[in-house]
Amino acid sequence: MRIFHHPDQLRHAPLRELNNGEWTDYAETPARLTTILNALGEVEEARDFGLDPILAVHDQSYVAFLKSAHDDWLAAGRSGDAIGYTFPIVGRRKLSLARIDARIGAHAMDAATPIAAGTWAAAYGAAQAALSAFDAVARSEERFAFAACRPPGHHAGADYMGGYCYLNNAAIVARQAVSQGLSPVAVLDVDYHHGNGTQDIFYDDGDVLFASIHADPTTDFPFYWGHADECGSGGGEGATINVPLPRSTDWNGYRPVLENICARIAAWGAKFLVVSFGADTFAGDPISQFRLATADYRAMGAIIAKLGLPGVIVMEGGYAVGALGANVTTFLAGFSDQA
Residue 277, in any domain of the structure: yes
Tell me the β-bridge partners of 242: 212
Which has the closest alpha carbon to 112: 254, 234, 14? Answer: 14
Q: Where are the beta strands (DSSP E) in the chain?
A: 2-5, 16-19, 22-25, 44-45, 144-147, 185-189, 208-215, 240-245, 272-277, 311-315
Rounded to whole angstroms, the Cα distance separating 51 from 120 reads: 12
ω into 7 cis (within 30 of 0): no
Per-residue confidence (pLDDT) for residue 64, from 0 to 100 = 98
Mean pLDDT of 111-118: 96
Of the candidates 84, 87, 4, 93, which has an alpha carbon nearest to the alpha carbon of residue 44? 4
Q: Do residues 158 and 116 touch, judged by C-beta distance below 8 A? A: no
Is 58 considered catalytic here?
A: no
Mean pLDDT (the chain, rounded) = 96
Burial degree of 339 (CB within 10 A; 0-12, 13-18, 19+):
exposed
Q: Which of 269, 268, 289 is nearest to 280 (CA)?
A: 289
pLDDT grade, residue 338 (50/70/90)?
confident
pLDDT at 94: 67
Closest by CA position to 276, among listed 333, 207, 199, 222: 199
Please, which residues have CB within 8 angstroms of residue 20's CB and are 6 or more apart in sequence? Answer: none
Domain assignment present for residue 104? The answer is: no
Q: What is the pLDDT of residues 40-74, one digit of tens each?
A: 999 999 999 999 999 999 999 999 999 999 999 99
Q: Is the pLDDT of residue 266 over 70?
A: yes
Global pTM value: 0.97
pLDDT band at 179 (very low <50, low <70, confident <90, very high): very high
- The pLDDT, as a whole number, for residue 168 is 99
Q: How sure is the predictor about 199, in pLDDT bands with cuts at 50, 70 and 90?
A: very high
Segment 221-230 shows an average pLDDT of 97
Contact residues for 339 (Cβ-Cβ < 8 A; gap 6+):
143, 305
What CATH number is given to the structural domain containing 36? 3.40.800.20
Percentage of the chain lying above the pLDDT 90 cut: 92
Q: H or E segment at 173?
A: helix 169-179
Would you say residue 107 lies in a domain? no
| 164 Cα distance to chain centroid | 9
Write out pLDDT tens, residues 269-317.
Answer: 999 999 999 999 999 999 999 999 999 999 999 999 999 999 999 999 9
State the residue range of the domain holding 240: 2-59+117-337
User: Is position 245 within any domain?
Assistant: yes
85 in a structural domain: no
In-domain check, residue 319: yes
Choose, from 12, 155, 193, 194, the residue flagged as catalytic. 155
On whether the CB atoms of residues 314 and 169 are closer than 8 A, the answer is yes
**What is the tally of structural domains in the chain?**
1
Q: Using CA atoms, how far apart are residues 65 and 68, in angstroms rounded to an integer?
A: 5
Question: Is 65 within the bounds of a domain?
Answer: no
How confident is the model over 138-162, as pLDDT tens digits?
A: 998 889 999 999 999 999 999 999 9
Residue 81 included in any domain: no
